[in-house]
A and B are shown apart, each in its own frame.
Chain A
Amino acid sequence: MMLAPLRQFFQHFIALFRRTQLDQDLEAEMASHLELAIEENLRSSMSPAEARRQALIQFGGTQQAKELHRDARGLPWFDDLLRDLRYSLRMLARDPGFAIVVILTLALGVGVNTAFFSVANFIVLRPLPVRDPGQLVVLATREKDTSEIRDLSYADFLDYRKQSNMFSDMLAYRLGFDGLAADNRADRIISSYVTGNYFSLLGIQSAIGRLIEAGEGWTPGADPVVVLGYAYWQRRFGGDPGVVGKQALLNGKPVTIIGVAQKHFPGVYYFLEMDTYVPIRQSASATDSFWTARDERGEAGLYVLARLKPGVSLAQARLSLDVIASRLAQQYPDAERGISTEAYPERLARPQAGAANYLPVLVPLFFLLASLVLLVACINVANLALVRANERAGELALRTSLGAGPVRLLRQLLTENLLLALLGGTAGIVLGMWLASTLKIIATPVDLPMFRMDFVFDWRVFAYALAITILAGIIVGLFSTRILWRSDLISSLHEGGRALSGGRRQNRFRNGLVVVQVAGSMMLLIFAGLFVRMLNKAQHMDLGFDPHPVLNMLMDVQQIGYDEARGKNFYGELFSRVAALPGVQSATYAYSVPFSTSGTRTASVFIENGILQPGQSPPAVYFNIVSPNYFSTMRTGLLRGRAFTEADNQDTPRVAIISQKMAEQFWPGQDSLGKRFRLAKSGTAYLEVVGVARDTKVVNPVPWAIPYFYLPLAQNYSSQLALQIRTSLPPESLALHVEEQVHAIEPALAISNVMTMDKQIQGTNGFFLFNLGAHTAAGLGALALILAVIGIYGVVSYTVNRRTHEIGVRLALGAQPGKILKMVLRDGMVLVAIGAAAGTVVALIGSHAVSHFLMGVSPNDPLTLVGISSLLGSAALLACYLPARKATRIDPVTALRCE
């Protein structure tokens, strides 16, 4: 049985929609009532007229009875709401210009915010699609008193896993770009090399077949199995269940496909979708420096994810990690002293622990920008609504005098504002979806096809959009209903509504709004300007090489199982074929190309006769492995010494070329030519410095130089090589011919990252982030400018409107139109100037606070400040000029007759 109050509400609710029928029923009932009464009165021998009169008196008012009946049976507030809504729609339809501007303005504010939120939602809010994702923490080490966060070494992982009792389990994984060949086709794929407890810790099931199990992965080279990611299985094998048990070659070694992970599980390296999962030490070969140095505690390279025991807090886990860290520091003072191990909530360490340094800053910063947009939009709308409320003062006063209570009027105004907000919010959600999909395109880097950008509008985004829509409605409503708090509402009726316009307080308030709005826009514009300048500066940075026109492509012959001898043969033959192609000016091999996502290698450098303090670790330096014509192909100048030659081979002394920065840093004040260093403490030959090259930007386009060195390919074999070709043809057209040559020699070899150097520079490790930031900031800035112009225009035209009478008088008394123009312009521009000045001050404080992010652009960059000021100034001037010109055209006679 239904609960009584619920049943009543239900009946009340039904009654609303059966209104007509119920009314008719009541009419009939009342009619029968009166007839019965008249009949009885007639029986007591009244005259027919008197009988009717008495019946009506006894009954009381029929209209009143109907009202009572309706109130009793329905939901009066809901009835009122419907009435308010109908009335609101009528009022808005009467002034569609106002409604459209308000809805569009709110749509902009809500849309931008929602789009931002959908991005932030993806980055830091959406949980991983695994069991109890809130319990997951990422472990990483941090050197005391620095902000550098590093991954764990294998030895550390084993110790922490064994010694900590705050976690129910701990997994580790590495990433690898591999070749997977099956059915005579090779793909370049991205894999996670996972510990055996990976899937069980995460609570992931298999879609088909089985997953990697707890015992697997600990023995080097054992467990030749591979698990496919669901999306890769669909894409590559068409979802064929027969794939289980199939033999394949992973980097040339035979493996068995044992199963497919469950749907919608992309792996835990948040921004990438994994193609395969491999037992962690399966391919731990002798050439993989991470595994050869696995007992070195400084050899970081494992991503570690742990699950907190139920009821254990992050703080408790951190304490226990500290205890273990100090124990390890005593045990291994060389490697572990001064190193702490930290636990970060998984959501704040995406895709890896290092993000914990900047995500908590970056996300709020962008939210601040987005909220500014919403605030400006709200103020704008509030201002317009205020203008309109003033115009409606007469109407409101009339309704008050007809008996509408203040609560009723307040409700009416709030309904109108909420209706506008909801319409604006709905349009905003549509706009936000469009923005998010556009952002997804801008934000997906050209060089990482497996990049996962999933700005889906889930319930969080919709809830957020609804919340800010209602918030906006309330803000606007509160501003525009201020008018009701005025005691002289009635008196305005007598004065044709004008009394409300002139109040000094009212004006100050409205002017304040414009000032705040201009200040907000100014701030956004300055930030946008700095971002754009930053991008511009970065784009024109001297890279140390000439990227145009160079074609790159990447191959790894280990993926088809080549050993060193076959690899050398292959690369040698390919090189001579490519060099013979028309349009090839010069070509070179290199282990990595600048800004590449496929990895840049580092090595620990031990200088000959250099002394390391106890506990001091050798500096890690980025390096490349290149063939002799690398420097001429890339057009990187050599400052001293020589380039590599064919004579630098396995039979001659080992050599290296170092960057200018490395020379300065490692041998300050000395001639670095002839100096020697090696890449291990002992046991390997020293490398002699034979040349010093110009500094180049290779890892990231940052303005400062980093130490870097080059090794000759002939002395340092690498199975993975990038072929870099300087060409006189458009690089894209050359790509096909080169790929033909590769497949003529080895049909099964996967070629990846086929890309011009120009494109590579725009990629993830290149200018991608700058581009993204500049696009976003510029978009926001443009938006702010639009909003500011709408706001200024609205207020100035309102003022002109209100002052029609006064201006008419002035004109009638002989004032020059030019003077009127100047007066209106001055009034408007004074506000703009105050707002712009305030906005500039706040923006400068902000930009100084983040000045180290600015890539060398001064936080008070004069070009930005002057440019933005004149942009805003001229837009504001136009916004003031249009209504001002209207003021000069006021006809004094009409204006005065308006009374």
Chain B
Amino acid sequence: MSDSKLDLLQGTLDLMVLQTLAAMGPLHGYGIARRIEQVSGNEVLLNQGTIYASLVRLQQRGWISAEWGTSDNNRKAKFYSITNAGRKQLSEDAAYWGRLSSVMTRVLAMPEEEAK
């Protein structure tokens, strides 16, 4: 099963985290990881632990902020939320990804006869 999972490209995890926080509001690390897994339909190869490197990176860039809080079922957890700078970055990155993926789609859709 793991053979067919997608390896994450450099930087894509950061974007996923930003989008998740923008869509869902404040979440803890586990929540973010789970959410990404669910939305991707378990197609992403994600060691949940790697999310924390992404979180600290985003935090140092000032795109998300963090605060210790209490979860629904009364557990202590660190909650992350997206900042204004983060939203701006997200819209830039999302536009970039949109363009890149449409270009990739077109290039890969090249009919084989023409390539010869």
Measuring CB to CB, which residues of chain A are less than 8 angstroms from any residue of chain B? 4, 7-8, 11-12, 15, 25-26, 28-30, 32-33, 35-37, 39-40, 58-62, 64-65, 68-69, 71-73
Confirm or deny: B88 has a beta carbon within 8 angstroms of a beta carbon on chain A. Answer: no
Contact of B57 among A28, A64, A72 (CB under 8 A): A72
Q: How far is the CA of A68 from the CA of B56 in the complex (A)?
A: 10
- Residue contact A36 to B28, C-beta cutoff 8 Å: yes
Shortest Cβ gap from A215 to chain B (Å):
67
- Residue contact A60 to B52, C-beta cutoff 8 Å: no
- Residue contact A71 to B28, C-beta cutoff 8 Å: no
Shortest Cβ gap from A151 to chain B (Å):
68
- Residue contact A33 to B48, C-beta cutoff 8 Å: yes
Contact of A32 among B49, B57, B61, B75 (CB under 8 A): B75
Q: Which residues 41-63 in B have Cβ within 8 Å of A in the complex?
A: 47-50, 52-54, 56-57, 60-62
Shortest Cβ gap from B43 to chain A (Å):
15
The bracket for how many chain B residues form the interface is 20 to 34
- B73's closest neighbor in chain A, by CB? A39
- Residue contact A61 to B78, C-beta cutoff 8 Å: no
Shortest Cβ gap from A463 to chain B (Å):
35
**Assuming A26-B52, A32-B76, A35-B75, is B47 touching A73 (CB within 8 A)?**
no
Contact of B50 among A8, A40, A60 (CB under 8 A): A60
Confirm or deny: B77 has a beta carbon within 8 angstroms of a beta carbon on chain A. Answer: yes
Contact of B60 among A11, A37, A71 (CB under 8 A): A11
- Residue contact B57 to A29, C-beta cutoff 8 Å: no
Q: List 7 A-B contacts (CB under 8 A).
A: A4-B61, A26-B52, A28-B78, A35-B75, A36-B31, A62-B49, A68-B50
**Assuming A7-B62, A65-B47, is B77 touching A71 (CB within 8 A)?**
no
- A43's closest neighbor in chain B, by CB? B73
- B62's closest neighbor in chain A, by CB? A7
Contacts of A11 in B (CB 8 A): 60
- Residue contact A69 to B30, C-beta cutoff 8 Å: no
- Residue contact B77 to A36, C-beta cutoff 8 Å: yes
Contacts of A32 in B (CB 8 A): 28, 30, 75-78
Q: How far is the CA of A787 from the CA of B64 in the complex (A)?
A: 61
- Residue contact B49 to A59, C-beta cutoff 8 Å: yes
**Assuming A32-B78, A36-B71, A36-B75, is B49 touching A64 (CB within 8 A)?**
yes
**Assuming A29-B29, A58-B48, A60-B47, is B53 touching A68 (CB within 8 A)?**
yes
Q: How far is the CA of A7 from the CA of B49 in the complex (A)?
A: 26
Chain A proximity mask over B58-94: 1 for CB below 8 Å, otherwise 0: 0011100000000101011110000000000000000
Contact of A72 among B28, B53, B62, B77 (CB under 8 A): B53
- Residue contact A29 to B78, C-beta cutoff 8 Å: yes
- B78's closest neighbor in chain A, by CB? A29
**Apart from A11-B60, A35-B75: 6 A-B pairs, beta carbons within 8 A:** A7-B62, A65-B50, A65-B53, A68-B49, A68-B52, A73-B57
Contacts of B77 in A (CB 8 A): 29, 32-33, 36
Contacts of A29 in B (CB 8 A): 29, 52, 77-78
Contacts of B78 in A (CB 8 A): 25, 28-29, 32
Q: How far is the CA of A65 from the CA of B56 in the complex (A)?
A: 12
Shortest Cβ gap from B50 to chain A (Å):
6
Q: How far is the CA of A476 from the CA of B31 in the complex (A)?
A: 55
- B71's closest neighbor in chain A, by CB? A36
Shortest Cβ gap from B5 to chain A (Å):
13
- Residue contact A60 to B76, C-beta cutoff 8 Å: no
Contacts of A4 in B (CB 8 A): 61
Q: How far is the CA of A73 from the CA of B54 in the complex (A)?
A: 9
Scoring B28, B34, B77 by chain A CB atoms within 10 A of each residue's CB, the highest score goes to B77
Contact of B52 among A8, A40, A58, A65 (CB under 8 A): A65
- Residue contact B47 to A8, C-beta cutoff 8 Å: no
Contacts of A33 in B (CB 8 A): 28-30, 33, 48, 77
Q: How far is the CA of A62 from the CA of B75 in the complex (A)?
A: 20
- B52's closest neighbor in chain A, by CB? A69
Scoring A4, A11, A59 by chain B CB atoms within 10 A of each residue's CB, the highest score goes to A59
Shortest Cβ gap from B69 to chain A (Å):
11
Contacts of B34 in A (CB 8 A): 40
- Residue contact A61 to B53, C-beta cutoff 8 Å: no
**Assuming A36-B30, A72-B56, A73-B56, is B62 touching A30 (CB within 8 A)?**
no
Q: Which residues 93-114 in B have Cβ within 8 Å of A in the complex?
A: none
Q: 6 tightest A-B contacts by CB?
A: A60-B47, A65-B49, A68-B53, A72-B53, A36-B30, A60-B49
Contacts of B57 in A (CB 8 A): 72-73
Q: How far is the CA of A4 from the CA of B88 in the complex (A)?
A: 14
- Residue contact B53 to A71, C-beta cutoff 8 Å: yes
Q: How far is the CA of A804 from the CA of B76 in the complex (A)?
A: 66
- A7's closest neighbor in chain B, by CB? B62
Q: How far is the CA of A12 from the CA of B30 in the complex (A)?
A: 25
Q: How far is the CA of A2 from the CA of B30 in the complex (A)?
A: 32
- Residue contact B76 to A61, C-beta cutoff 8 Å: no
Contacts of B50 in A (CB 8 A): 60, 65, 68
- Residue contact B56 to A69, C-beta cutoff 8 Å: yes
Contacts of A12 in B (CB 8 A): 60
Contacts of A73 in B (CB 8 A): 56-57, 60
Contacts of A28 in B (CB 8 A): 76, 78
Q: How far is the CA of A28 from the CA of B34 in the complex (A)?
A: 19
Q: How far is the CA of A11 from the CA of B63 in the complex (A)?
A: 14
Shortest Cβ gap from A75 to chain B (Å):
11
Q: How far is the CA of A71 from the CA of B57 in the complex (A)?
A: 10
Q: How far is the CA of A807 from the CA of B49 in the complex (A)?
A: 60
Q: How far is the CA of A32 from the CA of B52 in the complex (A)?
A: 13
- Residue contact B28 to A59, C-beta cutoff 8 Å: no
Shortest Cβ gap from B86 to chain A (Å):
13
- Residue contact A8 to B53, C-beta cutoff 8 Å: no
Contacts of A72 in B (CB 8 A): 53-54, 56-57
Contacts of A36 in B (CB 8 A): 28, 30-31, 71, 75, 77
Contacts of B62 in A (CB 8 A): 7
Q: Which residues 1-60 in B have Cβ within 8 Å of A in the complex?
A: 28-31, 33-34, 47-50, 52-54, 56-57, 60
Shortest Cβ gap from A57 to chain B (Å):
9
Contacts of A61 in B (CB 8 A): 47, 49
- Residue contact B30 to A37, C-beta cutoff 8 Å: yes
Contacts of A39 in B (CB 8 A): 73, 75
Contacts of A64 in B (CB 8 A): 47, 49
Contacts of B75 in A (CB 8 A): 32, 35-36, 39
- B57's closest neighbor in chain A, by CB? A72
Contacts of A58 in B (CB 8 A): 47-48
Q: How far is the CA of A61 from the CA of B48 in the complex (A)?
A: 9
Q: How far is the CA of A37 from the CA of B48 in the complex (A)?
A: 10
Scoring A32, A33, A58 by chain B CB atoms within 10 A of each residue's CB, the highest score goes to A33
Q: How far is the CA of A73 from the CA of B53 in the complex (A)?
A: 8
Q: How far is the CA of A165 from the CA of B81 in the complex (A)?
A: 73
Contacts of A8 in B (CB 8 A): 60-61
- A65's closest neighbor in chain B, by CB? B49
- Residue contact A59 to B48, C-beta cutoff 8 Å: yes
Q: How far is the CA of A40 from the CA of B77 in the complex (A)?
A: 15
Contacts of A62 in B (CB 8 A): 49
- B61's closest neighbor in chain A, by CB? A8
Q: How far is the CA of A37 from the CA of B77 in the complex (A)?
A: 12
Q: How far is the CA of A30 from the CA of B52 in the complex (A)?
A: 9
Q: How far is the CA of A60 from the CA of B47 in the complex (A)?
A: 5
- Residue contact B60 to A30, C-beta cutoff 8 Å: no
- Residue contact A30 to B49, C-beta cutoff 8 Å: yes
Scoring B34, B54, B60 by chain A CB atoms within 10 A of each residue's CB, the highest score goes to B60
Contacts of A37 in B (CB 8 A): 30, 48
Contacts of A7 in B (CB 8 A): 62
Q: How far is the CA of A68 from the CA of B28 in the complex (A)?
A: 18
Scoring B49, B54, B61, B71 by chain A CB atoms within 10 A of each residue's CB, the highest score goes to B49
Q: How far is the CA of A23 from the CA of B102 in the complex (A)?
A: 41
Shortest Cβ gap from A656 to chain B (Å):
93
Q: How far is the CA of A64 from the CA of B54 in the complex (A)?
A: 13
- Residue contact A59 to B47, C-beta cutoff 8 Å: yes
Q: How far is the CA of A61 from the CA of B53 in the complex (A)?
A: 13
Q: How far is the CA of A40 from the CA of B30 in the complex (A)?
A: 11
